Structure 1
Amino acid sequence: MGAGSTVDRGANRVRIDLTNTLPTPYQFGRVFISTQTSSNMHLPRNPPQIDLILSDERESRAVLSEGIKEYAKDFNRRYLHWSEVRRRDTGPFDPDAVWARMKLARMDSSIALVFGNTHYHYSISDRIMKMLHEFDMRASVGLFPDTIDPHRKVYYSVSSLMEESIASSQMEGAVTTTKNAKEMLRKNIRPKDKSERMIVNNYKAMRFIKDHTEQPLTPELIRDIHRIVTEGTLDEGCMGVFRDNDDVVVQDSLSGEVFHHPIPMDEVESAVQQLCDFINDEEEFLHPVIKGIVLHYAIAYIHPFEDGNGRVARTLFYWYELKSGYWLMEYLALSRYIKDHKGRYEESYVFGETDGNDMTYFILYNLRALMDSVDKFEDYLKRKIEEERSMKVKLSDYGLNDRQVRIITSLMAGGTTTVRSIQNQYQVSLNTARADVRLMSEVGLLTETGREVNTKVYSWSGKKI
């Protein structure tokens, strides 16, 4: 691994090799330090142990009293962490006692999991059931009007996969604008630095998983995805290889506060295999969205690789949802929501870890992210359909098909295109893309404005329509 390179941000972290990146007093050799770079988050206070609370006779009576019930019920409905409960108004009751009553209720509905030597658990609350139901309803009804053609669906799918790839990379520290990154992917431009390579790799990984939804989850598939997302950004000996050291902590770069110690390297193989067995097991039903979120959480917690754990975890979530029949995921850029609410993303993970690996906090966060992503795509779809309908009327005299109308509409908003970018964006053959350009040029809607590496670049001609 190269010194000073960004290494990883799992569900709540970025790991970097600090050699040659900090002043001499802070060089730690092979120890990889994780940082919280965007949220100024502090490790929440560990919850009190309920067995100690219940061992006190007076506190025990308060915990089991009828008066405390409503506080516990209200806080559990919102699934508050202890760090939030201790700041709330708990009336005549000690916050410790309210927490104990909350935990007793949670334990009644808690489901336990074990991967390797690490125990996890989660609860399926009424709130979670409601969100799952709403997501299922929206996924089954469909977002597209019956009149929309298959080619337009392909366009929206490719565009969303690009958005997801870009946002996921930006979370890891990729420094580029979304607009420039999309131009690179559309035109198939060779990445010129690590940030752009990360984005291209993520996009390749998203395309890869669409073609591998029929196979079960295996350590080999996880390694394959890792190899794709780290190509050209990591030493070859580390690509697709589980880590062989424990030289890592998840730590705030400024305060030194440690958030997480990944599992020991000698437990990684067994933990990953048990996670795969759990995901592949279809004897006991677990809602696919919950199962996918568990996969996301566990990969980030196990931290099997030197780099790329967060990207692998998010890609695997998409893979499992597509495998489970949620075609809607092709059109959702979940990482865009996570990037915009990164502090909450990190917080939900740390809340879980400090509460005995309770994944419920992380489940709730991801369900909110899913619903927001559906809302965003619906708004985008309505806007684009209306925009294209209006433009189709204006361009009706030029004999353009729907795809060509979309190309012109996009260019009128700025930017350029090439034959290759049309081929990549709309998933058509090279000959079809050439025919598009030729027709639009012949009717005076496109004009050649330059070249990029011997490739002709076209722009909107400015013709009055």
Structure 2
Amino acid sequence: MKFEAFISGTFVQQYEYKSFTPTPVNREWTWDDPRINSLLEETTRSLAELDAFSKMVPDVDRYIYMHVVKEANTSSRIEGTRTEMDDALRDRMHVAEEKRDDWQEVHNYIEAMNVAIRELAELPLSNRLLRKTHDILMRGVRGERKTPGEFRRSQNWIGGASLKDAVFIPPHHDELPELLSDLEKFWHNEEIHVPHIIRVAISHYQFETIHPFLDGNGRIGRLLITLYLISAGLLSKPCLYLSAHMEKHKGQYYDALTGVRMSNDIGHWVRFFLVAVRDTARNGVATFRNIMALKELCAQKVLSLGARSANGQKLLETLYMSPVTTGKRVAQNLDISQPTANTLIAEMVRLGILEEMTGQQRNREYLFTEYYRLFLD
């Protein structure tokens, strides 16, 4: 199927509305657009460089956690949560009460991603894995009553207050088994010659169009991108936080998806997706470079602490995993007394490594500010 000849689907009359049935995607795909060839080459090269950095950086899992937090927070924010990165890194008890439900959604996403990636070590990417991931994502948060972990058995819609004024109505639930089976086959079909990055671009569009869950489709669909790239061997770690690009270009993101459904323009969507992956991968490489430079600088500063330098280095290592800390957490992590922890924190503040972030005299929290800022762009 050529992109230029693609017909995205048909509108099917239901009782009082028309749902959209997308064309199956498990097929050979080609295109005439030379822009896609150039972007595909650039994107593949950038993604390979990012993956190489994730393998070269010592103890990389310490830094990967922040990538996962950024992806979880941004993907959830696209769906309406108000949690910022620093909120997501704090203990729940330190988060404002009105933000705790949003905090839980972000942490569900983190757990869902981590569990799904562990599962990929033993199992192939599948609809079964997506259902399990969805169950974790929706646990104890808004949407928890909308059959977590199960594909929908009723009609849903996007935009508007009801089916009558919906912006888009996905396929009828009776069509889901066939459409989802086709999508899963597309992920693993070795008889077609479609580059993996093109496959995941098409897969994300198709998943969002099928909209198989009653809630949480946007987050699962974006998480699917990371899972696919890892399962296909293009990434070793979840270090591509694509949701940041999609949030920054939210209007273009939704317009590109809608353009496929309404105008059959899958080429435009693929170009948007390739640019998103390319630019995000380049930013990821820059982040890794900056992390290594900051790590060397901070290590030199900590050496000036003399007898406290050993504990200072241990504290730094915990801060790379999570740059928000408290005196109590430092004491527990380093197995030192509370007064010793408080003194160490004061020294790290003096060195400009930590910054007190509450302005309070009690229940103080401290931020590894320069490291945290590396993940804000």
Shared fold per TM-score greater than 0.5: yes
**CA, structure 1 residues 230+149, in 2 after alignment: closer, same or farther (shift >3 Å)?**
same
User: Aligned partner of 1:169: which letter?
Assistant: S
Aligned partner of 2:272 in structure 1 is 365
Q: Aligned partners of 2:113, 2:321: CA distance in 1, in Å?
A: 24
Pairs within 5 Å for 1:42-441: 106-107=4-5, 118-119=22-23, 123-124=30-31, 125-142=33-50, 149-151=57-59, 153-184=60-91, 193-214=100-121, 215-233=123-141, 234-236=143-145, 238-246=147-155, 248-252=156-160, 258-327=166-235, 330-356=238-264, 358-398=265-305, 399-400=309-310, 404-405=315-316, 416-417=325-326, 433-434=334-335
SS state of the match for residue 176, structure 1?
coil
Give deviations 1:208-265, integer Å, cap 9, x for gaps.
121122422333222111111111123446111222222x3333569x8643221011
Q: CA deviation at 1:295?
A: 1.9
**CA, structure 1 residues 433+303, in 2 after alignment: closer, same or farther (shift >3 Å)?**
farther
SS state of the match for residue 224, structure 1?
helix
Q: Aligned partners of 2:85, 2:252: CA distance in 1, in Å?
A: 22
User: Aligned partner of 1:129: which letter?
Assistant: N
Q: Aligned partners of 1:163, 1:185: CA distance in 2, in Å?
A: 17
SS state of the match for residue 260, structure 1?
coil
User: Aligned partner of 1:175: which letter?
Assistant: R
Q: Aligned partners of 2:129, 2:158: CA distance in 1, in Å?
A: 26
Q: Aligned partners of 1:335, 1:127: CA distance in 2, in Å?
A: 23
Whether the 8 Å CA contact 1:205–1:315 is kept in 2: the answer is no
Q: CA deviation at 1:385?
A: 2.7
Whether the 8 Å CA contact 2:22–2:206 is kept in 1: the answer is no
Range 222-231 or range 130-139, more displaced: 130-139
Q: Aligned partners of 2:55, 2:118: CA distance in 1, in Å?
A: 27
Q: Aligned partners of 1:330, 1:365: CA distance in 2, in Å?
A: 21
Q: CA deviation at 1:273?
A: 1.6
SS state of the match for residue 445, structure 1?
helix
CA RMSD of aligned residues (A): 4.2
Relative to the length of structure 2, the TM-score reads 0.74
Whether the 8 Å CA contact 1:166–1:181 is kept in 2: the answer is yes
| Higher Cα radius of gyration | 1
Q: CA deviation at 1:336?
A: 1.0
SS state of the match for residue 361, structure 1?
helix
SS state of the match for residue 395, structure 1?
helix
SS state of the match for residue 249, structure 1?
coil
Whether the 8 Å CA contact 1:120–1:359 is kept in 2: the answer is no
**CA, structure 1 residues 148+403, in 2 after alignment: closer, same or farther (shift >3 Å)?**
farther
Identity of aligned residues (%): 20
Q: CA deviation at 1:106?
A: 2.4
User: Aligned partner of 2:292: which letter?
Assistant: I
Aligned partner of 2:347 in structure 1 is 445
Q: Aligned partners of 2:43, 2:314: CA distance in 1, in Å?
A: 30
SS state of the match for residue 250, structure 1?
coil
**CA, structure 1 residues 193+147, in 2 after alignment: closer, same or farther (shift >3 Å)?**
closer
User: Aligned partner of 1:404: which letter?
Assistant: L
Structure 1, unpaired ranges of 5+ = 1-103, 423-429, 450-455, 461-465
User: Aligned partner of 1:222: which letter?
Assistant: L
Structure 2, unpaired ranges of 5+ = 11-19, 350-355, 357-362, 368-377
User: Aligned partner of 1:119: which letter?
Assistant: T
User: Aligned partner of 2:243: which letter?
Assistant: S
Whether the 8 Å CA contact 1:218–1:273 is kept in 2: the answer is no
Give deviations 1:166-217, integer Å, cap 9, x for gaps.
0000011112222212224899999964312211111111111211224223
Q: Aligned partners of 1:141, 1:222: CA distance in 2, in Å?
A: 28
Whether the 8 Å CA contact 1:271–1:302 is kept in 2: the answer is yes
**CA, structure 1 residues 229+379, in 2 after alignment: closer, same or farther (shift >3 Å)?**
same
Whether the 8 Å CA contact 2:325–2:366 is kept in 1: the answer is yes
**CA, structure 1 residues 112+217, in 2 after alignment: closer, same or farther (shift >3 Å)?**
farther
Relative to the length of structure 1, the TM-score reads 0.61
**CA, structure 1 residues 203+142, in 2 after alignment: closer, same or farther (shift >3 Å)?**
closer
Q: Aligned partners of 1:180, 1:351: CA distance in 2, in Å?
A: 35
Whether the 8 Å CA contact 2:87–2:103 is kept in 1: the answer is no
Range 392-401 or range 299-308, more displaced: 392-401
Whether the 8 Å CA contact 2:157–2:166 is kept in 1: the answer is yes
Whether the 8 Å CA contact 1:213–1:320 is kept in 2: the answer is no
Q: Aligned partners of 1:390, 1:269: CA distance in 2, in Å?
A: 54
Aligned length: 337
**CA, structure 1 residues 283+340, in 2 after alignment: closer, same or farther (shift >3 Å)?**
same
User: Aligned partner of 1:290: which letter?
Assistant: I
Q: Aligned partners of 1:113, 1:147: CA distance in 2, in Å?
A: 41
Give deviations 1:35-60, integer Å, cap 9, x for gaps.
xxxxxxxxxxxxxxxxxxxxxxxxxx
